[in-house]
Structure 1
Amino acid sequence: MVKTLVHRFIIFVILSNLYHSPTVQADIHIPLGAIIEEGNTKVRQILELAVDQINRNQTLLPNVNLTMQFYHANIYQQYRNLKKGCLAANDQVWTIIGPTTSSDVECVQYMATSVSLPQIAPVASYPGFDNRPSLKYLLRMSPSDYWQSKVLASIFQSLNWPYAALLASNTDYGINSVAEFQVIAAQRGWKILAYEIFNVQETNDVNLIRKRLKKIQDSGVHIIILICLSSQADIIVSQAHRMGLTSKGYQWLFYDNTITEGRLHSNPPRYLEGAIGMISNPNRDNPVYRKIESIWKKDHTSDLDPFSLRYYDAVLAFAYGLQKLLPNISRIAPTMMSCDKIIPWANGNLLMHSIKTSVGAGVTGPIQFGINGSPINPSFQIVNLINQTWKNIGKWSKDSGASIDINKIVYMGHNLDPTILSTGLKGVNLSIVTTIDPPFMNLINSSELYGNNRFEGIVKDLLVELSKMLQFTYKLSLTEDRNYGSVNETTNQWTGMVKKIIDQKADIAAGAFSITASRSHVIDFTKPFLDQGVTMLVAKPKSLPPSIFQCFAPFTLNVWLLIAGSIIFTGVIFYATGYLSPFDLYGSAVRHLPLHANDSDYSGNSIPRVDKLRWKNYYRDTIYSTNLGNSVWNIISSFLQQGHNKSPNALSGRIITGFWWLASCIIIATYTANLAAFLTIDRLNSGKIYV
Structure 2
Amino acid sequence: MINFRRSLIFVYLPILLFLFHFLIRVKSETKSSSLVHIGAVFDVDSAEGAVAEMCISMAISDFYAMHSNYQTRLILHTRTSKDLASTATAVMDLLKNVEVDAILGPQIPDAAPLVIELGEKAHVPVISFFPTSPILSHSKNPYFIRATQDDSFQVKAIAATLRRFGWHQVVFVYEDTDYGKGMISSLVNALLENDIRVAYMMAISSSAEDFQISRELNMLMTRKNRVFVVHMTTPLGSRLFALADKSGMMTEGYVWLITTALANSLSAIMNSETIDSMEGILGIRSHVPKSKDLENFNRRWKRKLHLMNPNSSGTELNIFGLWAYDSIWALARAVERIGVTNPTLLKLKTRVVKDFASLGSSSRIGPRLVKEILNVKFKGLSGEFHLVNGQLKSSTFEIFNVIGKGERVVGYWTPDKRISRKLHSGETLENSITSSNELRKIIWAGDSTLTPQGLAIPKLRIGIPVKKGFKEFVDMKKNVHTNETSYLGFSIDVFRAALKALDFKNISYEFFPFMNEKGEMNGTYDDMLHQIVEQKYDAVVGDTTIVANRTYYVDFTMPYSESGVTMLVPIKHGIHRNMWIFLHPWSWDLWLAVIVSFIFMGLVIRIMEQPTVNTAFAGSPNRQLGMTLWWPFAALALPERGLVVKDWSRFVLVIWIGLAVILMQIYTASLSSMLTVDQLQPTVVGVNKLIANGYKVGHQNGSFVKGFLLDELKLNESQLIPYHTVKEYHQALSKGHKNGGVAAIFAEIPYIRVFLNKYGSKYTMAGPIYRTSGFGFAFPKGSHLVSYFSRAILKVREEGKIMDKLEEKYFGQIITSIGVASPMISTPDDSRKLRASSFSGLFIIVGIATLLALVISEKSYIWSKPVALAKEFSIRYLSSQSSNGSTELVVAAQSTAQVHDDVESSHDVQDLVGNNNEGTSI
| TM-score, normalisation: structure 2 | 0.43
Instruction: Tell me if 1:51 matches 2:64.
Output: no
Matches within 5 A, 1:246-261: 246-261=250-265
Larger RCO: 1 or 2 (CA < 8 Å, sep 6+)? 2
In the TM superposition, what whole-angstrom CA distance separates every residue of 1:95-123 from its partner, at most 9, and x where no partner exists? 11010244312211122122221210112
For 1:442 and 1:234, locate their aligned partners in 2 and report how far apart those are by CA, in whole Å: 54
State how far apart, in whole Å, the 1-side matches of 2:385 and 2:351 are.
28
Confirm whether residue 299 of structure 1 aligns to residue 308 of structure 2.
Answer: no
3-state SS in 1 of match to 2:222: helix
Q: CA–CA distance in 1 between the matches of 2:155 and 2:263?
A: 15
Match of 1:104 in 2: 111
Is the Cα contact below 8 Å between 1:115 and 1:343 reproduced in 2? yes
Report if the CA contact (8 A) 1:162-1:422 is conserved. Answer: no
Change (3 A) 1:292 1:460: closer
The residue number in structure 1 matching 2:247 is 243
Q: Which residue of structure 2 lines up, in the alignment, with residue 667 of structure 1?
A: none
2:877 alignment counterpart: none
Question: What are the ranges of 5 or more consecutive residues in structure 2 without an aligned counterpart?
Answer: 1-24, 306-313, 422-436, 459-503, 523-527, 542-553, 558-922
Residue identity in the other structure for 1:235: R
Query: For residue 410 of structure 1, what is the amino acid of its counterpart?
Result: I
- Match status 1:318 vs 2:335: no
Summarize deviations over 1:417-456 as a string: whole Å, max 9, x none.
Answer: 426235545755558899x9xxxx974333999xxxxx99
Contact between 1:384 and 1:392, CA under 8 Å: does it hold in 2?
Answer: yes
Could you tell me which amino acid in structure 1 is paired with residue 364 of structure 2? Answer: A
Q: Could you tell me which residue of structure 1 aligns to residue 391 of structure 2?
A: 374
Which string of whole-angstrom CA distances, capped at 9 and with x for unpartnered residues, describes residues 28-47 of structure 1?
33321001125233332222
Distance in 1, Cα, partners of 2:320 & 2:115: 20
Change (3 A) 1:213 1:471: farther
Match of 2:79 in 1: 71
Whether 1:218 aligns to 2:216 is no
1:340-489 equivalent positions in 2, closer than 5 A: 340=355, 341-344=358-361, 345-370=363-388, 372-398=389-415, 401-404=418-421, 405-412=437-444, 413-418=446-451, 420-421=453-454, 424-425=457-458, 427-428=505-506, 443-446=516-519, 458=531, 462-466=535-539
What is the aligned counterpart of 1:163 among 158, 162, 169? 169
Tell me by how many angstroms 1:49 deviates. Answer: 2.1
Q: Unaligned stretches of 5+ in structure 1?
A: 1-20, 450-454, 473-691
Shift in alpha-carbon separation, 1:471–1:74, aligned structure 2, 3 A: farther
SS of corresponding position for 1:273: coil
- Residues 1:173 and 1:401: Cα distance change in structure 2 (over 3 Å): farther
Cα offsets for 1:58-100 (capped at 9, x unmatched): 25x635443211122224x1x5423322221221222110102
Q: 2:212 aligns with which of 208, 213, 220?
A: 208
Q: Secondary structure at the match of 2:53?
A: helix
Residue 189 in 1 paired to residue 192 in 2?
no
> Are the equivalent residues in 2 in contact too, given 1:288–1:361 (CA < 8 A)?
no
Counterpart of 1:296, as a letter, is W
- Which runs of structure 2 are paired with 1:521-560 in the superposition (5 Å)? none
What secondary structure sits across from 1:219 in the alignment? Answer: coil
Q: Deviations over 1:339-382 (max 9, x none)?
A: 54334223321122111111112221111111x20112343222
- Tell me how far apart the structure 1 counterparts of residues 224 and 390 of structure 2 sit (CA, whole Å): 42
Supply the AA of the counterpart residue of 1:303. E
Q: Match of 1:31, SS?
A: strand
Q: Number of residues paired by the alignment? A: 435
CA 1:28–1:251: 2 relative to 1, 3 Å? same
8 Å CA contact retained: 2:172, 2:230: yes
The answer to whether the Cα contact below 8 Å between 1:247 and 1:271 also exists between their aligned partners in 2 is no
- Superposed CA RMSD: 3.5
The verdict on how the C-alpha distance between 1:460 and 1:231 changes in structure 2, with shifts beyond 3 A counting, is closer
Q: In 2, are the aligned partners of 1:127 and 1:145 still within 8 Å (CA)?
A: yes
- Residue 170 of structure 1 deviates from its aligned partner by 0.5
Contact 2:37 2:99 in 1 (8 A): yes
Matched with 1:574 is none
Q: CA deviation at 1:407?
A: 3.8
Amino acid at match of 1:124: P
TM-aligned CA deviation for residue 396 of structure 1: 2.7
CA distance in 2, matches of 1:64, 1:153: 46
- Offset at residue 409 of structure 1 (A): 3.5
Contact 2:59 2:325 in 1 (8 A): yes
Deviation, 1:197, is 0.5
Offset of residue 57 of structure 1: 2.1
Equivalent pairs: percent with the same residue? 14
Aligned mate of 2:146, from 140, 144, 160:
140
CA distance in 2 between counterparts of 1:361 and 1:456 reads 61
Change (3 A) 1:26 1:216: same
**Structure 2 letter corresponding to 1:350:** R
Secondary structure class of the residue paired with 1:120: strand
Q: Cα distance 1:242–1:263, how it changes in 2: closer, same or farther (>3 A)?
A: farther
Distance 2:104 2:505 in 1: 54
Q: 1:185 to 1:399 in 2, by over 3 A?
A: closer
Opposite residue 160 of structure 2, the aligned amino acid is S
Q: Cα 1:140–1:175, aligned 2, differ >3 Å: closer, same or farther?
A: same
Q: Secondary structure at the match of 1:408?
A: coil
Code of the residue aligned with 1:386 in structure 2: it is I
SS in 1 for 2:401: strand
Contact 2:42 2:108 in 1 (8 A): no
Return the alpha-carbon distance in structure 2 between the equivalents of residues 331 and 374 of structure 1.
Answer: 29
Cα deviations by residue, 1:550-591 (Å, 9 ceiling, x for unpaired): xxxxxxxxxxxxxxxxxxxxxxxxxxxxxxxxxxxxxxxxxx
Deviation by residue 1:623-654 (Cα, 9 ceiling, x = unmatched):
xxxxxxxxxxxxxxxxxxxxxxxxxxxxxxxx
SS at match of 2:136: helix
Match of 2:232 in 1: 228
Q: Is the 8 A contact 2:163 2:194 kept in 1?
A: no
Classify 1:429/1:256 alpha carbon distance in 2 versus 1 (closer, same or farther; 3 Å). closer
CA distance in 1, matches of 2:220, 2:72: 56
Cα gap change, 1:394 to 1:324, in 2 (>3 Å): farther
Partner of 1:95: 102
| Matches of 1:208 and 1:433, distance apart in 2 | 42
Q: CA deviation at 1:185?
A: 2.8
Letter matched to residue 335 of structure 1 = K
Structure 2 CA distance, aligned partners of 1:293 and 1:86? 34
Q: State the Cα deviation string for residues 3-24 of structure 1 (Å, max 9, x = none).
A: xxxxxxxxxxxxxxxxxx9x97
Equivalent-residue separation in structure 2 for 1:161 and 1:118 (angstroms): 42
| Aligned partners of 1:169 and 1:197 also within 8 Å | yes
| Structure-1 residue corresponding to 2:812 | none
Alignment partners' CA distance in 2, 1:58 and 1:122: 24
Which amino acid in structure 2 is aligned with residue 71 of structure 1? Answer: R
Structure 1 CA distance, aligned partners of 2:555 and 2:253?
15
TM superposition score normalised by structure 1 = 0.57
Q: Which amino acid aligns with 2:126?
A: Q
Q: Take 1:124 and 1:460, find their aligned partners in 2: how far apart are those partners?
A: 45
Secondary structure at the aligned position of 1:32 is classed as: strand
Given that 2:71 and 2:340 are in contact with CA atoms closer than 8 Å, whether structure 1 keeps it comes out as no
Q: Say which of 84, 88, 99 aligns to 1:82.
A: 88
